[in-house]
Structures are given as C-alpha cells and as structure tokens.
Amino acid sequence: MTPAPSKTPIIATVTSGKGGVGKTFVTVNLATTLAAQGRKVLVVDCDLGLANVDIMLGIYPQLTLKDVLFGQARAEDVIIPVKGGFDLLPACSGVREMAQLLYEKIQIVKNVVLSQEGYDVILLDTGAGIAETVLQFNLLAPRNIVVLNRELTSITDAYAMMKVLHQVFGRDTFSLIANAVADEREGQKIFHHVDGIARRFLGFSLDYLGPICRDEAVPRSILRQEPLVLADPGSKTVACFDRIAGAVSRWGKPLTKGLAVPTPEQVPRGVLH
C-alpha cells in the first residue's frame, strides 16, 4: 500500500521593518489561536542573536538552535511543546556567534525549517529590518506577514524592507497587520496609506490581514509571560487574532514564486536613502 503523501505546511515569516512593533507578541498569539482552531503549528525563533519567544512564554529551554547549528543536538531534540498549544524551536539571546552567522550556518537553519513534517503552519519569527539573516528567512518563506503600527518610522521601515525584497529579489506578495491601533478604522487608514505607496512606487498591491486593537490586557499578558488569547480570552484583541488566524488558514498551499535565496554578495547596502 502506497503511503499517503505528507502535507505541505504553510510557511510564513512574521517580520517588520523596525523593532519594537510587537512582532513576537503577534507571532505567539497567532500561533496560539491557530492551535486553538485545530492547526498543528511550529514557531521557529529566527531572531537568532536576540531571541525572545521563550521570554514571552516564560520558559527557559535547555537546548536551542545554537546546539543544532554547532552539532550538539538534533532539531527534534530541541523542539518543545509550549503552553500556547504549539511547538517551539527556540533560539538564544546575547550570543555573538548566533548574531553573526556565516552563510553556511544560515543554510542549516533553513534546511531544518524545510525538513519539518506534520505541521499545518510554520511561523518564522524574524529579526527586524534588512540584515542578511532577515532577508534570508523572508525569502525562504513563501508568505511574509509584515507587522507595523502607527509610528512613521514603523511605516517607512516596513516599506523599505518590502522595497528591497521586491526590487532585488522579485518578491511582490506581502500581508500586513496593523498592530496596537485604536480601532478598525485606524488600522484601515494605516494599511491604505502603505498600500497606496506600494501601488504607486512598486507596482503591486498589498494584502491586509487586519488590525490588532490596543487593549489594557496586552501589557498585562506580556508581564505574565502568557499568550493574551489564553490570559484574557474576553479581550477584544482575541477577536482580532481569530480573524487573522482564519485568513492565514485559508491560504492553503504556499506560494511558489520568489523563493530565490540571497548569497552574502547579493545583500544590498545603503538601500534606505
């Protein structure tokens, strides 16, 4: 009897143009919501030198991606189930070797991601900006979820990152989440502003996954190191994550275009002027 083919997971980055916009908060709560909806989810902390998914969850893993990269453990030994109902492949923070990985080591991380089986969704929580490792992971994933907020620097840096990925590597599919907005209207306003710029200067439109509304429950959940959707299921923000998770689930099979992976020589310099 021929075995059934393994399912192809949705692989998506959760990324941003600048730090401090709530990217890891979005990753953790989106993964928790997808898991609650019956999806088998893996989160890979791809902010390799400044990892904080484990901190957001209040866990202290004994093994991390560092152990995989330097031959001290297998990926299956490092992946752990967490209280959000999903699996986590944690990285480490404050380790210089991880912040300045050689191209060959980055390839190992990518191969680890692509070798994972049995998951419906794999979310890669990347660093911010256009550093080489961030570009590498954004190009690996067929889907890029870009988190931004109302701050001008968040908007301009998000656009700059999408511009690089499009002009240098041909990527033209991005899904936006407007985080920490007052309401649906403000989220729509931010999206339409960025979408208008992309249409005018890059020649393509953006996808809007939706807003995440500001809520006093958000900082409380972060301090408690617990996903908001578990800590305060009555929060209005939970409904935002339900909608976003539903949209991600409907993506089905990943896209296949724009998967070229840059070499160090291809990484652009001075693109923000």
- The per-residue pLDDT for range 26-66, each reduced to its tens digit, is 999 999 999 999 999 999 999 887 888 999 999 999 999 98
From 46, 23, 34, 33, select the one nearest 179 (Cα to Cα): 23
8 Å CB contact between 227 and 32: yes
92-120: pLDDT as tens digits: 875 566 666 667 888 889 999 999 999 99
Q: With pLDDT > 90 as the criterion, what percentage of the chain qualifies?
A: 75
From 72, 90, 68, select the one nearest 81 (Cα to Cα): 90
The rounded distance, in Å, linking the Cα atoms of 138 and 119 is 19
147-156: pLDDT as tens digits: 999 999 999 9
The rounded distance, in Å, linking the Cα atoms of 212 and 246 is 14
Domains of the chain: 11-251 (3.40.50.300)
Predicted confidence (pLDDT) at residue 227 exceeds the cutoff of 70: yes
Task: Calculate the alpha carbon distances from 174 to 12, 94, 220 in Å.
Answer: 10, 30, 30
8 Å CB contact between 164 and 258: no
Please return the burial class of 52, using the count of CB atoms within 10 Å of its CB with bins 0-12, 13-18 and 19+: middle
8 Å CB contact between 88 and 51: no
Average pLDDT of every residue of the chain: 88
**Distance, first Cα to last Cα, the chain:** 59
Predicted confidence (pLDDT) at residue 77 exceeds the cutoff of 70: yes
At 272 the pLDDT is 33
From 157, 54, 49, select the one nearest 98 (Cα to Cα): 49
Pairing mode, if any, of strands 87-89 and 80-81?
antiparallel
The rounded distance, in Å, linking the Cα atoms of 212 and 22 is 10
What stretches of 54-171 adopt beta strand conformation (E)? Answer: 80-81, 87-89, 121-128, 143-148
